[in-house]
Amino acid sequence: MTENNNVTRTEFDTISAIVTRTIREHPSLSRRLDLMMDLEYTHQCIPMDLDQFLNFDAGNFNHDIGGIVANFNRETLKMDNCFVPRCALPEQASS
């Protein structure tokens, strides 16, 4: 887990499962630690329904993982280009 971690153990386990699915479906995104950190920080700045994310169909899953990989800014720890994952909790999606 990251140093400034605000995710629960259950959330961490679900994020780990999302990363495992990502690597299985997209071998080119095989940097597990980078994906873990990106998803943890994304969840901290845009709370997501992680179970929904994990169980998304391929199209929605690919939209969210691709958008996070492409738009999460590791310097600011924020999302660029106004990207909001489809699995964002409703109060986040409407912000």
Tell me if 61 is assigned to some domain: yes
Give the C-alpha separation, 62 to 28, whole Å.
Answer: 13
Show the domain range for 52: 9-93
Domain count, the chain: 1
Cα(33)–Cα(93) distance, integer angstroms: 26
- Residue 93 confidence (pLDDT) above 90: no
Closest CA to 68 of 21, 27, 36: 36
Asked, for residue 85, whether it belongs to a domain, the answer is yes
Residue 2 belongs to a domain: no
User: Full-prediction pTM beyond 0.85?
Assistant: yes
Pair type for strands 72-73 and 78-79: antiparallel
Sign of CA dihedral 88, 21, 67, 30: positive
pLDDT digits (tens, 9 = 90+) for 16-65: 999 999 999 999 888 999 999 999 999 999 999 999 999 999 999 999 99
Both tokens of 80, joined, read 């660029």
Which residues are bridge partners to 59 per DSSP?
A: none
Residue 77 is assigned to a structural domain of this protein? yes
Look at residue 1 and tell me if it is in a domain.
no
Tell me the pLDDT tens digit for each residue of 59-82. Answer: 999 999 999 999 999 999 999 999
Instruction: Answer whether residue 15 is part of any domain.
Output: yes
The two three-digit tokens of residue 69, written as one number? 């990989």
Does 75 fall in a domain?
A: yes
